[in-house]
């Protein structure tokens, strides 16, 4: 069964890579509009200007799944592997539920009594709250309960990033300090497979995780997303990945910026929202 899933994962990944590469709309100034802009009946948005506005370096990739179009800024960075930080909580939650390490999204783990910088972390917590507050200790406990052998097996089965989780000693830090890495483009691939239900997890598991991923919900759209902050790297890295359901379409996004100071953290979300607005969304 493992070999079958691994083969299917490889085939599906190849299909998505081909699909993602089939129609590229490289973000550029509107004066450089191409044949793609005629097809869209609009100008190609200059997504780079949002990074300039906030004075940060980074990249964004947006995949319009209905029209098979990609909009992006900094294509080279979008193909560069980086530590996923807390965006890995999406995968970690899937694994914990599937393996029965945690029963559901409301089962509580007891706080260890160690005070941490974020107030929302200093309490007994369930999966839904831990996802919302990005509670690191909670997901570290889940990873230790899952164990090294099972974690590696499922990382391989899904084909997540570079599939490297280090040694037994790294079981609760490999997504925070490495060696696990993933590119923004691979983040899109993973999220697309989650949305489609084409990951080797049960429908129940995927439905629960999709539900806890909801960040914004209005009558017009639903956004599912997760932030990530790699504070141990130089430069520090900030992630914002997810997907937007709107106008009978799904737009997958992965934003990645250099964090020079803590005040930059909201910029990853602001840049993403501004870029989606450029596409007539939100």
CATH of the domain at 166: 3.40.710.10
What pLDDT score was predicted for residue 278? 97
Q: Which bin fits 134, alpha (ψ -120 to 50), beta or left (φ > 0)?
A: left
Q: Which residues of the chain have pLDDT under 50?
A: 14-15, 17-19, 21-24, 26-42
What pLDDT score was predicted for residue 43? 58
| Phi, psi torsion values for 100, nearest 5 degrees | 80, 10
| Phi, psi torsion values for 137, nearest 5 degrees | -60, -35
Number of independent structural domains in the chain: 1
| 152-192 residue pLDDT tens | 999 999 999 999 999 999 999 999 999 999 999 999 999 99
What pLDDT score was predicted for residue 106? 97
DSSP H helices in 23-121: 35-40, 48-54, 75-78, 89-99
| 33-69 residue pLDDT tens | 232 333 333 457 999 999 999 999 999 999 999 999 9
Please give, one letter per residue, the 3-state secondary structure of 29-85: CHHHCCHHHHHHCCCCCCCHHHHHHHCCCEEEEEEECCCCEEEEECHHHHCCCECCH
Residue ranges making up the domain that contains 84 = 2-278
Q: In degrees to the nearest 10, what's the CA dihedral of 65, 83, 50, 47?
A: -30
Q: Which residues are catalytic?
A: 86
Identify whether the C-beta of residue 223 lies closer than 8 Å to the C-beta of residue 216.
yes
What pLDDT score was predicted for residue 20? 53
Identify whether the C-beta of residue 132 lies closer than 8 Å to the C-beta of residue 119.
no
Task: Collect all residues with Cβ–Cβ distance below 8 Å to 57 and sequence separation of at least 6.
Answer: 51, 257, 258
């Amino acid at each position: 069964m493992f070999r079958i899933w691994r083969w299917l994962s490889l085939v599906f990944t190849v299909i998505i890579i081909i699909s993602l590469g089939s129609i590229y709309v490289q973000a550029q100034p509107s004066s450089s509009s191409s044949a793609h802009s005629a097809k869209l009946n609009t100008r190609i948005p200059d997504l780079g200007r949002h990074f300039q506005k906030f004075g940060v370096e980074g990249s964004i990739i947006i995949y319009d799944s209905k029209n098979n179009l990609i909009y992006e800024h900094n294509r080279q960075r979008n193909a560069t592997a980086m530590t996923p930080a807390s965006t890995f909580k999406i995968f970690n939650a899937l694994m914990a539920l599937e393996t029965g390490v945690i029963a559901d999204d409301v089962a509580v783990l007891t706080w260890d009594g160690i005070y941490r910088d974020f107030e929302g972390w200093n309490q007994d917590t369930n999966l839904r709250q831990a996802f919302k507050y990005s509670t690191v200790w909670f997901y570290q406990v889940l990873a230790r309960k899952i164990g090294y052998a099972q974690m590696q097996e499922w990382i391989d089965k899904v084909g997540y990033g570079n599939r490297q989780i280090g040694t037994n000693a790294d079981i609760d830090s490999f997504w925070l300090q490495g060696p696990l890495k993933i590119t923004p483009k691979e983040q899109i691939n993973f999220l697309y497979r989650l949305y489609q239900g084409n990951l080797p997890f049960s429908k129940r598991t995927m439905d629960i995780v999709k539900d806890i991923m909801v960040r914004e919900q209005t009558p017009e759209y639903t956004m599912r997303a997760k932030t990530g902050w790699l504070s141990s790297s130089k430069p520090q890295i900030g992630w914002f990945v997810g997907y937007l359901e709107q106008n009978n379409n799904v737009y997958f996004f992965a934003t990645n910026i250099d964090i020079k100071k803590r005040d930059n953290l909201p910029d990853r979300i602001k840049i993403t929202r501004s870029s989606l607005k450029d596409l007539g969304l939100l």
